[in-house]
Structure 1
Amino acid sequence: MQQKAPLLGSRPFHVTNRQVMAIAIPMTLASLTTPLLGIVDTAVVGQFGDAALLGGLAIGATFFDFVFTPFNFLRSGTSGLIAQAFGRGDALEERAAFWRAFVIAAISGFALVLLAPLIAAVGEWFMNADPALTTAMDVYVRVRLISAPAALINYTILGYFLGRGEAGVGLCLQFLLNGMNIALCIVLGLYLGWGVAGVAWATVCSELAAVIAGMVVLIGRFRALPKISPRHTFDIAAIRWMLHVNLGIMIRSLVIMGAYILFARQGAQLGTLTLAANAVLMHFVDVAYYFLGGFESAAQQLAGRAVGARDQPAFLRALRLTAGWGFSLAGFASVLAFAFGEQLIGAITSAADVRAEAVVYLPWAAFAAPSGVLAFQMNGVFIGASWSRDMCNAMLISFAVFIAALFAFGHIFGNDGLWAAFHIFLLLRGVSLLSIMRRRVRTAFVE
């Protein structure tokens, strides 16, 4: 019989603004270190004055993100399952869910290491770039794939802490990871002159350091708790359920990536100037979404905990608070974009024609944050509650509508049509999940 934790996650519980911000702020700060790392990587390699090295780093990082995006479920899916166990006060299941995800992460990571030559070859074929650029990309991808086991385990560790609402611990680990990465990138890439290889090795070393730090914390905790049997940890039904939940999250991640790629592709069809302007404006969208991602994480943990505790009032209050904060922040981001957008565009690019083109379409980018609030919040709720099949189905429907709108509106209205389709995609994702959630709530909290 499973032992229940007497206090942790005991039900019912009251959701407060403080709880929301205790998750949202650390996760937002952790997210914001990621683009900073990318800037440092680019600056270090840029010091060598070789366009091929810089281009190889850029496409290598893009391809690497493409390989790793399907594994985002190791963070979000793990977080949702642990949040539900936390809500039930089931300390044994919290650890069991972590170890199941840990094993999946380790196996997947080592598989990527073994497949590194094939993955690099596929990347080179797909990018079809110049030889010098391809060489730099090959070095970056092959070295970075060495970090795959550690990187995927780090996803799992972060998911565990987020599922328990301990975003501060997750923030410390992310600061260690990205801070060490930045420092080593400068030392190895610039001072030792390793270039692209140095940037990649910096990531490998920092991922390993973060895994060691995270596991030291976790093992120290687990030793003080009752032992968990392997039969419980590797229960076939529980593993099947985890895989079922994670499959939906994986498909969702791939569809979102596909939507961004299609948007960029159709922009390219309208000319290099349009493609460049949209790329500049996407920086506005990305920064706004880093902040919204913090409230998505809060919705994920609090909704999952409420579902586990069968506490409908807490669930509904979590919805109200995360929506309120999300729309407030999105509105503030839009005001800032309108007030300082032209200056920020000028800081991003010195090309006069690109600046002028980006200013024309700035309102579309400025309103992307309000359009995306509900989509982000509902993603968090559905992942936290493990309603991934519904989320996946809604995403596929939204993606189909997006494709139709992208081609139809893009053909008629040009770049305005592309941005309109992008907003339709965001709004439809949120509205469709909200309508499904209303039905789900009627059955999720039945004892």
Structure 2
Amino acid sequence: MGERVGEVMGLARARREARRLAVPLILANLAVPLLGMVDTAVVGHLPDPADLTAAALATQLVSVLWFLFGFLRMGTTALAAQAVGAGDQQALTATGIRALVTALTIGGVLMLLSWPLQFLGHLLFLPSPEVAAGFDQFLAIRLLGAPAALGQFALTGWLLGRQDARGPLLVAVLGNVLNAVLDVWFVLGLGFGLSSVAVATTLSEYAGLLVALALVLRKVRPDRAAIAAALADRPALTRLFRVNRDLFLRSCFLEGSFVAFTVLAARQGETFVAANAILMTFFTATAWLLDGFAQAGETMIGRATGAHSAESLHMAMRAAFEHGLILAVLLTGILALAGPSAIELMTHHADVQATAHHYLPFVIALPLVSVWAFVLDGVFFGTGRAEVLRNAMALALGLFLVSAALLVPVLGGTGLWLTLLLFLASRGILLWWSFRRIGGSRALAVPHGSG
């Protein structure tokens, strides 16, 4: 009886903790796409239509780059949370130092790769001469913010690993507010051109970095000896490199699947592409929301792993799954009820509306199909099993390509959306199989590589 009461109380605590962490993270995640939306809205008021195209293409390429290096947040959160669970303040501080130095180094390299990335953008997007000049300028200025953007990943990941979800929310909100104010001031107030929008975004990224750094320094102030020791610890640096490498490859495989989806969609005709653009905004919004509970689960599971507590890990998993499923059901209902009206609001073209309505049921099903992969991602992020995430994503990408080759030629757009649903479902299935094969909560409660 006592064990049962203890289990109920432990689960209740895990549920409260999941909500405490997830709500600020969901709000912070919603702030992320606003950065590009504000830029697009302000650029839309410039006199030359080519400016909007240039900004949109450059922002798309930057978004892909930032996504690929998102492992700087995920890997840092896992290692920091494990240090918290183990009660190792020295390891917690060292994790933040190594993550920030890694982020700033990668960001510095990206700044130096401005010309090759501009060349890559020309190959991918084939911009007209009028668009190309604005694209190059916008991209070069945005890349100047790479150290700040990636540094934010590392610092907010560290804060989240300390179970601080409000810090990342504060960084996101202040950065977005400043970006919006500068955009409006530069373009509508001072009459500056396209480059000023990129300058505003870059400045807001550095402001966000300073806010994140201030929040971290309130928690810990490492001296020179601590910094030197953190950067001289070869086993820890090797572990960080291994985790980041696997998470980077996982991001590449995931991005590859969506690039393939976009390429195949383009072959279905302009009307299908336009309808897909609307439908994918629905999917992106639900993904950001579901990711909030995945991130909450990640930090709770990382702490349980550091404490070697299989019971706490199980409770964290259960709380994350329960809340994720509730949110997925809620999102499914919202999409089913409001999706048709939202389509009407987003376009007045009858053929695009009809196509979007036709494929809307697939989008409605996406939250319930994908929530399992989101939560299990958080499980393996938190336990530091990056190689599992890498391998599962590689297999899921292979399944995506095979199913696309079989279904799209026969079913066209329907086959493509079925392929996406199968891809998301396969991610969850593969990760659950990996969880069972490893040995479940008890086996995962030991930090990977600690023996």
> 1:84, CA displacement in angstroms?
0.6
Secondary structure, counterpart of 1:47 in structure 2: coil
The CA deviation string for residues 99-137 of structure 1, in whole angstroms up to 9 with x for no partner, is: 111111111111111222222232223321101111111
Q: Residues 101, 49 of structure 1: CA spacing in aligned structure 2 closer, same or farther, 3 A cutoff?
A: same
> 1:302, CA displacement in angstroms?
0.8
Distance 1:320 1:195 in 2: 51
TM-score by length of 2: 0.93
The aligned runs of 1:195-344 (5 Å cut-off) are 195-223=193-221, 228=226, 230-344=228-342
Secondary structure, counterpart of 2:46 in structure 1: coil
Residue type matched to 2:282 in 1?
Answer: F
Contact 1:189 1:195 in 2 (8 A): yes
Secondary structure, counterpart of 1:16 in structure 2: helix
- In structure 2, the residue matched to 1:174 is 172
Distance 2:144 2:350 in 1: 42
> 1:429, CA displacement in angstroms?
0.5
> 1:227, CA displacement in angstroms?
6.5
1:156 aligned to which of 154, 157, 176: 154
Q: Residues 61, 34 of structure 1: CA spacing in aligned structure 2 closer, same or farther, 3 A cutoff?
A: same
Contact 1:53 1:196 in 2 (8 A): yes
Secondary structure, counterpart of 1:409 in structure 2: helix
Distance 1:110 1:268 in 2: 35
> 1:224, CA displacement in angstroms?
8.5
Secondary structure, counterpart of 2:192 in structure 1: coil
Distance 2:77 2:181 in 1: 29
Residue type matched to 2:409 in 1?
Answer: H
Distance 2:125 2:224 in 1: 51
Runs of 4+ in structure 1 deviating by more than 6 angstroms, as ranges, are 224-227
Residue type matched to 1:340 in 2?
Answer: A
1:39 partnered with 2:34: no
> 1:31, CA displacement in angstroms?
1.2
Secondary structure, counterpart of 2:226 in structure 1: coil
Contact 2:383 2:445 in 1 (8 A): no
Distance 1:69 1:38 in 2: 14
> 1:208, CA displacement in angstroms?
1.3
- In structure 1, the residue matched to 2:6 is none
- In structure 2, the residue matched to 1:426 is 424
Distance 2:233 2:258 in 1: 38
Distance 2:215 2:275 in 1: 45
Q: Residues 224, 63 of structure 1: CA spacing in aligned structure 2 closer, same or farther, 3 A cutoff?
A: closer
- In structure 2, the residue matched to 1:81 is 79
Contact 2:93 2:222 in 1 (8 A): no
> 1:13, CA displacement in angstroms?
10
Residue type matched to 2:178 in 1?
Answer: M
Distance 2:69 2:38 in 1: 25
> 1:192, CA displacement in angstroms?
1.9
2:368 aligned to which of 363, 367, 370: 370
- In structure 1, the residue matched to 2:379 is 381
Secondary structure, counterpart of 2:69 in structure 1: helix
Task: List gaps (5 residues or longer) in structure 1.
Answer: 1-11
Secondary structure, counterpart of 1:361 in structure 2: helix
Distance 1:325 1:439 in 2: 25
- In structure 1, the residue matched to 2:343 is 345
Q: CA RMSD in A?
A: 1.9
- In structure 1, the residue matched to 2:443 is 443
The CA deviation string for residues 28-53 of structure 1, in whole angstroms up to 9 with x for no partner, is: 10111122332221111111242211
- In structure 1, the residue matched to 2:413 is 415
Contact 2:393 2:427 in 1 (8 A): yes
Contact 2:36 2:59 in 1 (8 A): no
Contact 1:81 1:386 in 2 (8 A): yes
Q: Name which of structure 1's ranges 133-142 and 187-196 shifts more when overlaid on structure 2.
A: 187-196
Distance 2:389 2:33 in 1: 28
The CA deviation string for residues 142-178 of structure 1, in whole angstroms up to 9 with x for no partner, is: 1111111111111111100111110011111111111
Secondary structure, counterpart of 1:228 in structure 2: helix
Q: Residues 97, 374 of structure 1: CA spacing in aligned structure 2 closer, same or farther, 3 A cutoff?
A: same
1:405 aligned to which of 403, 406, 414: 403
- In structure 2, the residue matched to 1:130 is 128
Residue type matched to 1:315 in 2?
Answer: L
> 1:270, CA displacement in angstroms?
1.3
Q: Residues 184, 229 of structure 1: CA spacing in aligned structure 2 closer, same or farther, 3 A cutoff?
A: closer
Contact 1:15 1:318 in 2 (8 A): no
The CA deviation string for residues 47-74 of structure 1, in whole angstroms up to 9 with x for no partner, is: 1242211111111101112222221111
2:117 aligned to which of 119, 125, 146: 119
> 1:351, CA displacement in angstroms?
1.4
Secondary structure, counterpart of 1:350 in structure 2: coil
Residue type matched to 1:378 in 2?
Answer: L
Q: Name which of structure 1's ranges 189-198 and 355-364 shifts more when overlaid on structure 2.
A: 189-198
> 1:436, CA displacement in angstroms?
0.9
The CA deviation string for residues 218-256 of structure 1, in whole angstroms up to 9 with x for no partner, is: 224323999736234431111111111111111111111
Q: Residues 21, 14 of structure 1: CA spacing in aligned structure 2 closer, same or farther, 3 A cutoff?
A: closer
Identity %: 32
Contact 1:80 1:385 in 2 (8 A): yes
Q: Residues 215, 274 of structure 1: CA spacing in aligned structure 2 closer, same or farther, 3 A cutoff?
A: same
Secondary structure, counterpart of 1:129 in structure 2: coil
Contact 1:143 1:200 in 2 (8 A): yes
Distance 1:410 1:439 in 2: 33
Contact 2:50 2:131 in 1 (8 A): yes
- In structure 1, the residue matched to 2:143 is 145
Distance 1:215 1:63 in 2: 27
Contact 1:69 1:254 in 2 (8 A): no
- In structure 2, the residue matched to 1:9 is none
- In structure 2, the residue matched to 1:29 is 27
Q: Residues 314, 372 of structure 1: CA spacing in aligned structure 2 closer, same or farther, 3 A cutoff?
A: same
Q: Residues 207, 96 of structure 1: CA spacing in aligned structure 2 closer, same or farther, 3 A cutoff?
A: same
Distance 1:165 1:117 in 2: 40
- In structure 2, the residue matched to 1:186 is 184
Distance 2:307 2:157 in 1: 19
Residue type matched to 1:62 in 2?
Answer: Q
Distance 1:438 1:14 in 2: 25
Distance 1:48 1:444 in 2: 54
